[in-house]
Chains A and B, each alone.
Chain A
C-alpha cells in the first residue's frame, strides 16, 4: 500500500535498474560519468516534462503539442539577439522567456476564443512557431556567448548546472502544487472541471496560467539546450514532443487529470536516458530501443489503469 501510494517510486526504481544493468557490463567503471550524463541530458526532459505535467494535470484532452516548436523558436530568437556577444546571457534569457510567454498566451487564446480542442490549437500554433523559427534562423548557426556556453556545460558541487536548474524548477513546481492556492485550484480543476467551477475555482484563470507556464518552461529548456549544444538547430526540439508526454506518464502523473507527480518526472527523465544508454551498451540497435521504450510506456499505462480499477 505504501509503495502503491507513491507512484513516483517506480520511475526511480526503473532508473536505478537501468543504471545498474549498464554498469554491470563495465563492472562498475564509469558510474560517475554515466550519472553525470544522465543528469545533464535528463534535465532538459525534466524541465519540459514538468510543464507538460501541469497541462496533463488539467484533465483529459489537455496536452501541449507545441513544446518542440516553442523550444526551437525561443532558442533561435534568443541566440540571434545575443549574437555571440559576451554579457548578453540575461538579455537572451529574457527574450527566450518572453517568447515562451507569448506562445503560451497565443495557445490559450486559440483554445479559449476559438474553442478549439487543445490538441488541435497547440498543433496549429506549433506549425506557425516552427515557420517563424525557420525564417529567423535561415540556416545560420549562431554560437551562444562563451560565458553562457560555459555555464550550461559546467558543474557546481559536482552536479551539472542544467540539472541544478531542473532541480530548482522541480522544487518550485512541487511547492506551488502542494502548498499554493493556485496549485490546489489546478488539482481541483483537473479532477473535474465542472465540480471545480461549482466549488468557486476560477477554472479559466487556471487553464490560462497553465498553458502559459508550459510554454515558458519549454522556452527555458530551449534556451539552455541551445547553449548546451552550441547553437540552435531547427530540429532541436523534435524528440521532446513524445519525450515530454512519456516522462509524465512514466512518472506516475494521472492521465485522467488531477494528480501530479513532480519527483516521478525527474525519475522518468533519468530513466529515459539511462534505458537508452543501457540498450546501447548491450549493443541493441535504435529499433530495439524504440520498441522497448514504447512497450514500457504502454505497460505502465495498463498497469496504472488496472490499479485504478481495483481500488
Chain B
C-alpha cells in the first residue's frame, strides 16, 4: 500500500491450518509492518483465532510459511497476545503476574521494578485506572483484570513489545475505558508499534484500524485500507453470498401457551422453535445453561422432566466417555422405565435400537463404546438422548458442531416434526443458516438480548447487524 521503509515484522505466505478435514484457515497471506493497525473481522468460525494462534506461535501451520524479522520465534520477535479468555494467575498480585512473563526480573528487590513497570504501563494506557499493583487479581473486577492483561501485553518486559494482538480487548470494558485503549493503540502505532485488533464492535475497528481484513471460511475475502469500507460493506463482506431460501411459510403457524420466560427476556411458546444467535461467547450458552439448571433439580429426578439439554460441546457437556452408545442414549430416561429402582434393560435396548434406526447412528451394535463413533454420530446420540425423553422443552446449545449436511437435514426435519407435536425448542446456533429456520430469533450481544426477530425479519443481514455494534464508539 503506502511506501514503507521498514521490513515487515511478520509475514505469512499462504499459511493454512487444517484440523482433520476441517480447514480452519485455508491459505492466508499477510504482512504486518511497524505502524500497522490491522482490524480483523469475521463471523464465527471464519478463522480469526486460528490466524492469531499461527502468528503468536500457539499453532504450527499445516502448510505455508510464517517468517519474523527478528528471531525465529514469535516470542523473540516481540509478538504479544492478549487473549479473550483471561490468562492471569488469579492467586497472584498484578505485579506478580508481570513476573511470570518477565524472566528478567530477578534477585532480591524485584518487586519494586515490577510494580513500577506495570504501573507505568497501566498509567500510559488507562490514565486514572486506580488499580493497585499489589492487589491480588481475583479481588479485581473482570474489567480491571482485562485492563491488567492488556497492560502486561504492552509492557516492555525486558525487551520491547513490537506486535500486540488484541482479541476482543474491549468485551468487558465500558465505553470510557475502551476509548482510552483505542487512543493508546493509535499512539502506539504512530510510534512504530504494530497491532492486530479483533473486535465485534465495528465502530472501534473503524476508529483504530489502518487496514481491515475480512475473514470468511478460512480465507481473507477482502483487505482494504479502513477508509475503503463502509459499515454496511463490511457486514456484507462477512456474510454468506448464498441466496435466501424462503422458509417463511412455517412462520404462519399458531403456537400454544408460553412455556419459558426468563429475566433476560427470553421467551418461548408451546410448539415453537426459538433460535438464539449472535457471536459466540456473548451469553447464549450461559443463558441456556442457567435456564436448564433452574428448571431441574440436583436432588430428585422425577418421571416427568420439564426440560432436556442437548450439548454442543460434547466433551465438556454431553458425552459420558466410558459408556456404550446405549447407556449414553438412555441416561436421561432411566426413572421412566424403572421397576423397583432397577433398570428395565429390555425396554432400554428397545429405545436405543429404535433411535439408532430413526436418527441413523452409524454403528453395528448399540453396545459399542460411544467413543467408537465419529463426532457427528456422537452428536446424534445426544439428540437421541434428548428426544427420547418426554420433556416438553428441549434446550439445544449449538448442537450441530461437526455434523454433516445430510444428518443436519434429518435432524431439522425431526425437530420440525416434534415441534408440530407441541414440543418447544430453544436452539442456540453459531450458524446463521440454522437460526434462519427458527420461528423466532433472539440475538445476543454482550450478554444481553440486542434484538428479537420473527418471521420475515429473520435474515442473515438482520442477525449480523444485531450481533455487531453498529454505533460509533462514543
Contacts and interface: CB of A to CB of B under 8 A. Distances in A.
Q: Do chains A and B touch in the complex (CB under 8 A)?
A: yes
Interface of A: 179-182, 184-185, 187-188, 191-192, 194-205, 254, 258-259
Interface string B295-325: 0111111000100110100001111111100
Given A199-B332, A200-B332, A202-B299, A191 B342 contact: no
A201 B299 CA distance: 9
A195 B318 contact: yes
A197 B293 contact: yes
Interface of B: 289, 292-293, 296-301, 305, 308-309, 311, 316-323, 327, 331-332, 334-335, 338, 341-343, 345, 385, 389
A181 B334 contact: yes
Nearest to A178: B343
Contact of A205 (B299, B322, B332): B299
A254 B299 CA distance: 25
Contacts of A201: 301, 331
Contacts of B318: 195, 198
B323 A191 contact: yes
A181 B335 contact: yes
Which 3 residue pairs are nearest across A and B when measured between Cβ atoms?
A204-B298, A181-B334, A200-B332
A191 B311 contact: no
Contacts of A196: 320, 331
Interface of A, secondary structure class, is helix
B317 A198 contact: yes
A258 B331 CA distance: 14
B317 A200 contact: no
A202 B305 CA distance: 12
Contacts of A188: 320, 323, 331
A202 B300 contact: yes
Contact of A198 (B299, B309, B321): B309
A200 B301 contact: yes
B317 A179 contact: no
A205 B334 contact: no
Nearest to B371: A311
Contact of A195 (B319, B338, B343): B319
Contact of B322 (A198, A204, A259): A259
Given A198-B318, A203-B298, A205-B298, 6 more contacts: A181-B342, A195-B316, A201-B331, A202-B299, A202-B301, A258-B320
B322 to A, nearest CB: 5
Contacts of A187: 322-323
A185 B345 CA distance: 15
A258 B322 contact: yes
9 contacts: A180-B341, A181-B343, A184-B327, A188-B323, A188-B331, A195-B318, A200-B301, A200-B305, A202-B297
A157 B285 CA distance: 61
Contacts of B293: 197
Given A200-B296, A204-B299, A191 B321 contact: yes
A25 B300 CA distance: 57
A245 B358 CA distance: 45
Contacts of A259: 322
Contacts of A200: 296, 301, 305, 308-309, 331-332, 389
A43 to B, nearest CB: 27
Nearest to A184: B334
A259 B298 CA distance: 21
A202 B331 CA distance: 12
A199 B385 contact: yes
A181 B338 contact: yes
Contact of A197 (B298, B300, B389): B298
Contact of B311 (A181, A198, A202, A204): A198
A225 B161 CA distance: 69
B334 A179 contact: no
A194 B292 CA distance: 12
A203 B389 CA distance: 18
Nearest to B293: A197
A198 B298 contact: no
A195, A196, A203 — which one has the most chain B CB atoms within 10 A of its CB?
A195
Nearest to A205: B299
Contacts of A198: 289, 292, 309, 311, 317-318
Given A188-B331, A191-B321, A192-B320, A182 B298 contact: no
Contacts of B345: 179
B305, B311, B319, B342 — which one has the most chain A CB atoms within 10 A of its CB?
B342
B111 to A, nearest CB: 32
B316, B320, B343 — which one has the most chain A CB atoms within 10 A of its CB?
B320
Contacts of A194: 316-317
